Structure formats: C-alpha cells, structure tokens
Chains A and B, each alone.
Chain A
Amino acid sequence: MAGKFKVAIVGSGPAGMSAGGRAAETNVSHILFEKSDHLSDTIYKYQKGKFVMATPDVLPLRSPMTFQAGIREDILGTWDKEAAKHKVNVRFKSEVVAIKGQKGNFELRVQGGGDIVAEYVILCIGLQGNLRKLECEGADRPWVQYQLDDPDAYSDETIVVIGAGDAAIENAVALAKQNKVIIVNRRDEFARVKQGNLNLIAEAIDKGIIECYYNSEPGHIGDNYLLLKTAEGEAKIECNRIIARLGADPPRRFVESCGIKFPSKDRAALPELSGSYESNVPGLYILGALGGYPLIKQAMNQGYEVIEFIEGRPVKPADEPLLESKFANINVPVEEMLQRIRQNVPLLSGLTTLQLREFMIDSNVHTPRRGDVIFHRNDYTNSFFSIVQGNVDIQINPTNTAEVVGLGQGQFFGEMGLISGRRRTATTISASDDCVLIETPRRSMIKLVNSVAAVKKVLDQTAMARQIQTHLAPAVPTSELQEVVESAKIESYPAGHVIFNEGDQGDAVYLIRRGSVTVSRSIAGRNLVLSYVPAGNYVGEMALLSRKPRSATIKTAVATEAVRLDGSAFNKVLDKYPDLRRRLEAKYDQRLVENVRMEASPESGSLIEFLVAQGVGEATDVLLIDESLCVRCDNCEKACAETHGGTSRLDREAGPTFASLHVPTSCRHCEHPHCMADCPADAIHRASNGEVFIDDKCIGCGNCERNCPYQVIHMAAKPPAKPGLLQWLLFGMGPGPGEDLEAKKIKSSSPKLAVKCDMCKDLAAGPACVRACPTGAAIRVNPEDFFALTIRG
C-alpha cells in the first residue's frame, strides 16, 4: 500500500474540492483523487465563457474555497489558486476503480497503481459518470469528439453534431455561427429539451442555418465522411468533424460495487443518506449531485460540513440562520417547526428534509390576526398558501362578505390563481388569532408540483372540486358535488385543438381552468367565431340543457386545461337544485342572444378570430392601435424609450393588422408568461396588478428572449444619459427628448440585458405609450373586456 490517510475524497468537483480544502485547512490527513488532469471536470467541460449561476442566492456559502456567480474560466481559476494555497493533497489522473472494506479501514484501488487505505471515504463523483460513446464502426477516429470546449475555435468546417439533447443543440447552434452544421437526431422530434433550446434549434432548421436528419443513426465513420442510416436509406455526409453528445451513464454500478444500496430500480434513484450524508456503509459519505444536492453552492457547503462531522464537530446546515429568521415571528426552533409543518400539512408531508428546507427558504411564514385580509379578490398575486395552524375564511360571494367557506389546519388555498394564471377569484381573510400560514411563490410551487407527483395529484383533486364549486355551482354544498367531482377529469389540449364539433353527440360540460377557447359555428359554409371564453367559465352546457347535439364548435385559443364533467352526474345535481338549473338556463339564453347578434355581424367574429390567432387569447393586457387614428408619429415608442432608460420596449410598426386594428410588437403580459418559464436568475415577476416585469437580477442569458413567442423581449445595452430638455432646447445639445431611439454611442462594455414592457407599473397614471399618443390611437386593454365589448357591439 502506497499510503494511509484519515480521509479519502473521490472526485474533485465542488463538493470534493471543498472537502479537501476544509481537511487541509484543519490539518486532517487526506487525499483527493481526480481522474482527469484538472479540478472539477464537470464544470471544466462547460462551454467556454459559460455563465455559472450561484443559486440559491440566499444560501450562505460555507467553505474554505470561494464561489460566486461568474464566467466558467474565472471560477476554475480561483479554485485552482485556492486549492494550491490551502495545500490540498490532490492526485490527478487517478481514477478510483474499487472501494472495499469498512469504517476505519477502507481500501481504495486506483487505476494505474498507487492504492491507498483510508479511515473514511467521501464519494463526490457526481452524476456525469462516463460519457456515452458512439458504437458504430470508426467511432474511435481522432476527428470524432464527445465534448466541445470552445465553439469559436472552429470555423469554415462542416461539422456533424450527433444527439438531440440540450448539449447537442447548444453546441450545434453555437458552431453554426461560423461553420456548416448538420445535426443528427435519432427520433422524429427534439423532445425533452429546454423550451429555449427547442425554439433555437427549430428556428435554425427553419431558416436553413442548420440541416437536420431526423430518424437517423450513424452507421459507419470513414476517413472524411459519416455514413448515416436514415428512414429513407443510407446517406453519406462528408464532414471535417463529428461531435457526439449522447449523455452519460450514471455511475450506479460502481457505487453499488462499494456496497451502497439504492432505494429503487428507477434509473433516477439516488442512494439514501443520513442527516450527516453517511450512506448505509458506515464511514462512507456521499456528497453532491449523487447525494441529491445538485447545486454548486450546496455541494461546497456539504464538503465543509462532512469534514466537521468526521472530526466530531457537529454543525447545523448552512441554511439554518435563514430558516431561523423565517420562523422568528412564531418563536419556534427550526427543527420543531419543520416537524410541525410535516405533521400538520398533508400536502407537504411527503417531502424529503432537503426539499422541505428549500421549500421553506423560498416561502414566507405569516401570522395574521382574525379579520386580517390575506389577499383580495382580483389581486394579481399568484402565491400559494398552506395552513399550518388556525383557520381562514374565503368570501365566495363578492356581494355578500358574510358568505364564506372556512378552511382549517392542513388545508391550502390560492391554487386557482396558480393554475389559471388569472386574478384571485375570492377575498380570503384570517378567521383565527393563532393562524400560521406558509406563503410560497409561484415558481417554487411549480417546481414542487413538477418534481413531486403526490403534490400534483392532491393539488389537482382539491382544485378541481373548488373550481366546480366556484365557477359552476356556488350554492351547492361540497357533499352534493361528490359524484360530479368523482366523475370529473382534467384534460389538457394544445392550442388550436377542437374539444368538440358542432353536431357532435355528447353531454359533457367543460369547465375551462386554464387557457381559453373560442365558440364558432358553421354558417353558409363559413366558420364564424361567435365568442371567446376565458378560464373560469364553462362550455357545453347548451347540449346538456337542450338534450340536442352540440350547437357549436369549441376550439382552444391557446394551450388549455379543462375539467370535463360527466353530463349525467351533473344533471342529477341540476335536478336537485332548480335554482342552479335556472342560472344555467339564463346564461344559455344570454348566449343564444349573443350568438344571433354575432351571426348578424360576421366582421366582429373575424376580428376575434384574428386576435386569437395573434395569441391575444393568453394575454392579460394588450396594446392595440387603431390605424385609422394612428398618425405614425412613433411618440409611443419615444415615450417608452424615454421612460425606460433609453430603450423602447415596443415596435409600433411591426406586427399584423386586421381591418384597421393593429397589434404592435409589445408585451401582452400572458396569463402563464413564457418568459418566466426558464429564467435562471428568477428575475421575472408578476406585480399585483398583473404587470410582468424583469428586475435587476437579470444576467442577460437571453432565455426569456428565446422563450417569448411574440418577440417582445430583446437584449439591449443601456444607452448613455441624455442632456436635459433645456440644454437641448437652448443650446442645441442632442439628442433631445424622443430623439435617437437607437442611441448609437453605446459603450461596448455595458452588458446587454433583457428588456421588456413593464406596463409602466411605476408611473401612477399608467402606460406612457398610451398616454403619449396624441390621437387616441393606442389603447391598452384586457382582451376579455375587449372581446366582450366586440360581442355586445
């Protein structure tokens, strides 16, 4: 044996390197194995110049090594320097291939010799494991590579990128700037990639910048060509380089060979660990992504903590002070409070400690007194509330505040806004003095729903019952709706999907819970849109009441979710509650009248159809210009630029026009903002009046720009400040107010950040574009109101 150490660390990623640093700092005898010739191979393999995030922002870093958000090169450089400074005992190019033994006496076998013995082993090998290689003939040729460091290093080459994941797309798009790029996809579409990347590759293929072979696999690699097996036969592609991005095999086999057990056969399963990151093998610790802590900062904190645990110095998790301050107003120790949340709120009981801690760091704890308003009807907030203790009342009738539904300990509310993306449907007030509520922001809740299936299920079931009661049958007690709820199903449809056709048989009623639909009828061979139905309303009741075939076609305007209610179950409720039947019939009659009116003025229907085709159906507030009034002075754009640091967020001229109604390129403040979907810095928010805005956390990554289907976000550097009005007027110093929209003298050093319309939320009188329009051509409206006016005439 070559050596004996107290601690052996396997893998020099953020966790291993931080553990090594802490061990060196506290004079613990240690050795750090790294299979490559540099530290932190996973980050080393990031694309050159990649911006590395330091999320979660609020989590303090606890490590002898420093780390803050920045460019890949800077971060790696700092770590190299600090590892040297602390004299971390690193052994490069040493892959550990086997770990045997038990606490106090582990034997580590190292590829190429130099085996050692250690009392403790810390495994920080991440999930990257081994890169998958091509298996076809010729895959070992030197011009086939499995990673890409710097796409700018190649120019004027023909490069084939094999793979359909995020890495392949990012590489292909980056290389296409100065090379001819061909991408090979084994399937017929790019599934399971980030929306932003999907848009990027779709656009590049559309414009012919990148050529794509679908349903194709490499068959053979020759001297300067790739033989591709496609659905139509073989294709020979001459190329200079092949870059295969095929993902990686998780290191499960190796981990299991060390004696570590996995809880299930699921490929994504991770080993179970104790609170001090120890595996089922005593003395063997697992940190980082393999231990369920995928973020750099978390892993670095773990590296520090594990050395403390081994040295017998107990430490509290790094986020402890954060949670302590969260719980300060209820004066309960963190551990006890987490326990209480788990016990009292069934929705959160299935979360792991890590998940719950993270959930609570994002959330806020409120202790309202009896009668305090938690949120108002029509607020545009979209946070989610869980009741840890006490009661709240939901005022279900806006005209009579005494009519309430009470919710108690363990229940939750606020999910309707989360699902529909629309304003709050009811005012909620605290009903007891000992109320303890957890308020969770939309983003964290969506993350939780997407990662814990049980949460989604409970949320959907409860929300469904409430949606039925709120929008369809407010006077009917929950118990009476049991059968309807049990037979109800949540269905999701893509945009443009026909839910049912005119003339179809069927008596199901659809309650739109997200998105919107149009109602249309075929008249004299032409499809005529009769109305627009947003979330929170129902369709299909006409056939139920009249017992005739469907009288109109229902088509989704945007991606839509509806609760499908079984007709016969619903009819039973109607029989029992004649008031409800009368209400529905009154609505039915109203729709009949509206339909007749719309049939008489087909141009209104065409207008709705046009606007829906422009995606206005998912808007909450849209800028519309009446071109018969617009004198093309561009004062709207000038006002936008002048009130937003010199860059206009709207393009008046761009965008489609129907009759004289023009939809300029300007943010619509979507119900479910596409821009918010993938913002790594969490910089996009919705204000309580509905404005979707970007705050100063923006890092300029461009995801929102790519994700916006309406091209209303762009990346812009801040132009220099302008001289004042009087200086311009009296001394001719330019540019003056409204001049030089495209300020030319932008310093190249000022970073490009995302800019978009914030509906002038900070100006009391409302949007500057509308107020600066001299002729009243520009208005901002809620499409729902606009459609309602169009329909009523």
Chain B
Amino acid sequence: MHESILVYRHFRYLKWAVTLTVVAILAYVFHTPGEPANGGTWLGYTLGGIGAGLIFWLAWFGMRKRDYAKPTGKLEDWLSAHIYLGLSLIFIATLHSGFQFGWNVHTLAYVLMMLVIASGAFGLYAYIRYPRLMTDNRRGTTLDAMIVEMAEADREIRELAAKMSDEIRDLVFDAIDNTTIGGGVRRQLEPGRSGRTVAAIDKVRSAFASGARDQTETSRRLISLLTRKNELVVRARNDVMYKAMMDVWLYVHVPLSFALLVALVAHVIAVFFYW
C-alpha cells in the first residue's frame, strides 16, 4: 500500500520526463538552423522557454510544500514530478546552450543549475538509502531514549569507576565528560565511533588482564557497562549522521536554487536587452 516516490503512479513522471527529453534530443538532432546551434534559434528559444518555465515551477515546490491547508493534491505527487522533471533539465538546458560555454552570466546560470540538480540527486540518494539504515540502527527505540539510557549507564559507570585505581577512574570520567552526541556540521556527518570510551574499555581490560584481580567483580561489571555505553554512543552518533545526511543537502540545494533564480533572471534580461 505504501508507494515510493520513484515508482509513484507507475512511473508517470518518469514517462513524462523521458518523453520531454527524447523529443528535445530528436528536435536538436534534426534541427538545421544554418548557424552553430545556440540559444538564439527558434529551437533554442523554445528549449530556453521550457527550461526557464521548469526552473520556476521546480522552485515553486518550496511554496507548495508549505501550503499545508491546500485542499487538493498530494505532496508526493509534486515531489515525484519535481525529481524526474528536474533531472530532465540536464538535457533541456544543455541542448538550449548548444554546448556553447564561456566565462559569462549565461554559463553561470547553467553551472548553478547543474549544482542544484547534483545536490538534489544526492538528496534523492539520501532519501532512498538512509531511512532503512536509520530504522535498523534504532532497533525500535528513539534517540532520546538512547540518551536517557546512556545517562543511566554513565551514572552506574561513575559509581564503579570510583572504586578503581586513580588512572582508570580519570580515564573513565574523562570518557564520560567528553563524549558528545551531535555537534557541528562535520561531527554530525561523521559515522559513529567512540574513541575515548573504547580507550577506557581497553585500559580496564588490560589492567584486569595484567592481574589487578582484587576488583574482579567491579572490573567485569565496568567492562560490560562501558561496552553497552559504547554501543549506544555508536548507535546514537549513527542516528545523528543518518538524519544529518537526509538534511544537509537541503542547505546547498535551497540557497543555490535562489542563486540560480537570480542568475536566470540576469541571463534572460541580458539576452533580451544586450544581445
């Protein structure tokens, strides 16, 4: 009953996009303007018109998404069309350019458009790849619950570590105090690992192995708690990473879209007034 955006309505928008692209390519191939292919021929203007129209319509998605009270239609419908028609722009715009590039506002608009599409393509990849990984990684719990569980583990670990040697205690306390979940953009995008906690585990284990046997029970309990904590930290960081991966591309996609709109308007004005 659930239907992904790609297969939505039996690939309706893929069919639209392919049709549009194929027609554009055929027209380009059979078009003989008597001058090098460029945006100034009738086909060039047509493709340019379609491309500009598509760009404004694609950008309108941001408005449509926020129009929550709209009484008709599904956002999924829009997103499916947004993806396929957005990808078809690669062909439409390239053919419109007639492969004429240079250091000018026209090519700037083209480059921005390609960057927007590339970031969107990454977004699509993230939307397909990460949801399932996130669910598997969570194992039926939530990030908040993991953090609560971590805090509980920390409390017990502190109690146990206080009974151990100063060196181990300091190491364990340091691991607890310096373990963070999330943080800046880079931290969020890193996969989960846990340096300090692992180091603390290793230290307790080596101390245990090297014969500090007077604290057997405490050591064993500490190792198992630290291992549990470590597992939670890795999972929580992975959770943050998956979410960040699904969000981060929008911080490129949206501002570049606005830049594209500005460049596009400049391109159109330049063409009509100064050509």
Contact = CB atoms under 8 A, between A and B. Distances in A.
Given A632-B246, A642-B69, A653-B142, A774 B2 contact: no
B76 A774 contact: yes
Nearest to B61: A774
A771 B135 CA distance: 23
A627 interface: yes
B4 A771 contact: no
A600 interface: no
A770 interface: yes
Contacts of B274: none
Contacts of A775: 4-5, 76, 79, 127
B75 interface: yes
Interface in B201-225: none
Contacts of B243: 632
B82 to A, nearest CB: 9
Contacts of B102: none
Contacts of A773: 74-76
Contacts of A628: 131-132, 135
A254 interface: no
Contacts of A631: 126-127, 130-131, 246
A657 B68 contact: no
* Chain B contact residues, majority secondary structure: helix
Interface string B234-275: 000000000100100000000000000000000000000000
Interface in A745-793: 763-765, 768, 770-777, 779, 781, 786, 789
B72 interface: yes
Nearest to A769: B68
A111 interface: no
B125 to A, nearest CB: 12
Q: Which of B3, B75, B79 has the most CB of A within 10 A?
A: B75
A74 B68 CA distance: 42
Q: Chain A interface residue count: which class?
A: 35 or more
B8 interface: yes
Nearest to B239: A632
Contact of A635 (B69, B75, B134): B75
Interface string B123-154: 00011001110110010101000000000000
A653 to B, nearest CB: 6
Given A632-B243, A765-B73, A776-B3, A738 B66 contact: yes
A135 to B, nearest CB: 48
Contacts of B134: 627, 632
Nearest to B79: A774
B76 A776 contact: yes
What bracket does the count of chain B residues touching chain A fall in? 20 to 34
A127 B192 CA distance: 68
B26 interface: no
Contacts of B71: 763-765
A530 B42 CA distance: 65
Contacts, number: 93
B41 to A, nearest CB: 37
Contacts of A737: 66-68
B185 interface: no
A779 B65 contact: no
A774 B131 contact: no
A451 interface: no
A643 B72 contact: no
Contact of B1 (A630, A657, A765, A781): A781
A786 B140 contact: no
A638 B74 contact: no
Contacts of B142: 653-654
B135 A660 contact: yes
A613 interface: no
10 contacts: A624-B2, A631-B131, A632-B134, A632-B246, A776-B4, A776-B8, A777-B131, A779-B1, A781-B1, A789-B1
Task: Rank and list the top 9 A-B pairs by shortest CB-CB distance, nearest first.
Answer: A642-B68, A737-B66, A626-B2, A627-B135, A639-B68, A628-B132, A774-B79, A776-B76, A771-B74
Given A772-B68, A789-B1, 15 more contacts: A624-B2, A631-B130, A631-B131, A631-B246, A632-B131, A643-B68, A657-B135, A657-B138, A738-B66, A765-B72, A768-B68, A773-B76, A775-B76, A776-B8, A781-B1
